[in-house]
Amino acid sequence: MHRCQVRAVMTLGARALHYSGHGEESCLAFEDGFGQAHQITPPLLASTCVAGGQGGENSTGLKLVFVCACHSQPAANAFVRAGVPHVVAVRSTGQVLDQVAICFTRHFYLSLFSGQSVARAFEVAIYT
């Protein structure tokens, strides 16, 4: 998925975005339908997610963004600046261990889908 496809999803009114992939301090890597990686920088992420908003700066239709990638803090900060009310990501700039990420993700979404708030789902997931 490259920037145009991400923008299209936002324009169509996506309310949640889950990213699991490769991250660097300067970008997240999105793959297109041909197996090619496209680097999307934090400023491009912010401007892209605003495409689905209701108008105005820092307005986005997204309610939740989940970034599961190494070095995801710059991307998370971009989503916060774009006005996304709930952003879940790795706070440090370190690497994400697959088994830890899988466990966290499973418990986060299980809690969320069972009716817990985003904050409570995060608490449940972080302590598992």
pLDDT band for position 6 (cuts 50, 70, 90): confident
Query: pLDDT value at position 7?
Result: 76
Give the C-alpha separation, 23 to 94, whole Å: 10
Rounded to an integer, the average pLDDT of 77-93 is 86
Q: Where are the alpha helices (DSSP H) in 1-128?
A: 3-11, 42-49, 73-81, 98-113, 118-126
| Closest C-alpha among 88, 75, 87, 124 to residue 103 | 124
Q: Which of 13-17, 30-34, 46-50, 113-117 has the highest mean pLDDT?
A: 113-117
Query: pLDDT value at position 14?
Result: 83
Mean pLDDT of the chain: 84
Give the pLDDT confidence of 104-124 residue by residue, as tens digits.
999 999 999 999 999 999 999
More confident residue, 49 or 94: 49
Query: pLDDT value at position 127?
Result: 85
Position 55 pLDDT exceeds 50: no
